[in-house]
Amino acid sequence: MDEKAIVLFSGGQDSATCLAWALKEFPSVETIGFDYGQNHSVELEVRQVFLENFRSSFPDLTKNLGEDHLVDLSVLGAISDTALTGEREIEMNEAGLPNTFVPGRNLLFLTIAAAVGYRRNAKHLVGGMCETDYSGYPDCRDDTLKSLQVTLGLGMDTRYVLHTPLMWIDKAKTWQLANEMGGTEMVDLIIKDTHTCYRGDRSKLHPWGYGCGDCPACELRASGWSVYADGASHQEGAGQ
């Protein structure tokens, strides 16, 4: 297996930051995305725009950015009934998890990424999972992913290394990491060309990006931004 990485790239802020991180870390990088019937399919459109603009704005950083794999996982929408894949309001379920939780989603994503990695000779898998200010999704936990790394390696008789550069940092530090990867130009690209809002709203541009402003994903992104912008005295965030 080569020192090649496959990045789970959804078109959101976290995975875009991970993609920039991976391009600095590995000599060759490919991306993978999943169409699972998410309501905010706008993410899938945005991810293409991001990849194009990322390449044109950062020709040096992206010179080793290879193929993008888009995988149809509509089966996830068919077998789960969540606020991300159905017409439901976002609320907490009995287990204390938001009903945006799609059971098994990250397990499936990483398993598919490993299978693609097997074929593409890529041993490193990179994902934006984080348990610092996450919504309690159990498949974002560090222990889940460490266990999955072992399982994938055994099940495919191949050494995989799962990288989660955001695991122990909060949203403000994720903005900071983007800045470290490509300065304010990278931060601006992430603001404009990534998507986080659960409702798929891109009608209004806030200092932190597009979104409805009051779903849990927007709230997390906005509050991280305001902490980051305060720290960086980034004037774009000063009004929020």
**Residue 178 CA: distances (Å) to CA of 133, 189, 192:** 17, 10, 13
Calpha distance 59→21 (Å, rounded): 15
Other CB atoms within 10 A of residue 12 CB: 23
Distance set, CA 36 to CA 94, 117, 187, 192, 224 (Å): 24, 20, 28, 24, 27
Contact between 212 and Zn ion by CB under 5 A: the answer reads yes
CB burial of residue 144 (10 Å; 0-12, 13-18, 19+): middle
Q: How far is the CB of 200 from Zn ion (least distance, A)?
A: 8
Among 20, 218, 222, 229, binds Zn ion (CB under 5 A): 218
Residues 149-208 that bind Zn ion (CB under 5 A): 197, 199
- Mark the segment that binds Zn ion (CB under 5 A) among 40-48, 122-130, 158-166, 213-221: 213-221
Helices 13-25 and 171-193: crossing angle in degrees, nearest 10, is 100
First to last CA, the chain: 47
Q: Stretches 53-61, 84-92, 101-109, 209-217: which one binds Zn ion (CB under 5 A)?
A: 209-217
**Shortest distance in whole angstroms from residue 174 CB to Zn ion:** 17
Please list, in sequence order, all residues whose beta carbon lies within 8 angstroms of the beta carbon of residue 239, skipping any fewer than 6 positions away: 207
Comparing CB distances to Zn ion, the nearer of 71 and 212 is 212
Q: Tell me the closest approach of the beta carbon of residue 167 to Zn ion, in angstroms.
A: 24
Considering the complex, state which of residue 39 and residue 176 has its C-beta at the smaller distance from Zn ion. 39
Q: Which of 11, 77, 211, 237 binds Zn ion (CB under 5 A)?
A: 211
Nearer to Zn ion, 141 or 199 (CB): 199
CA distance 82 to 97: 11
Give me the least distance between CB of 77 and Zn ion, in Å please. 20
Binding to Zn ion by residue 97, rule CB under 5 A? no
Structure tokens belonging to residue 223: 């509050």
**Shortest reach from residue 140's CB to Zn ion, in Å:** 19
- Beta carbon of residue 173, minimum distance to Zn ion (angstroms, whole number): 21
- Residues in contact with Zn ion by CB under 5 A are 197, 199, 211-212, 215, 218
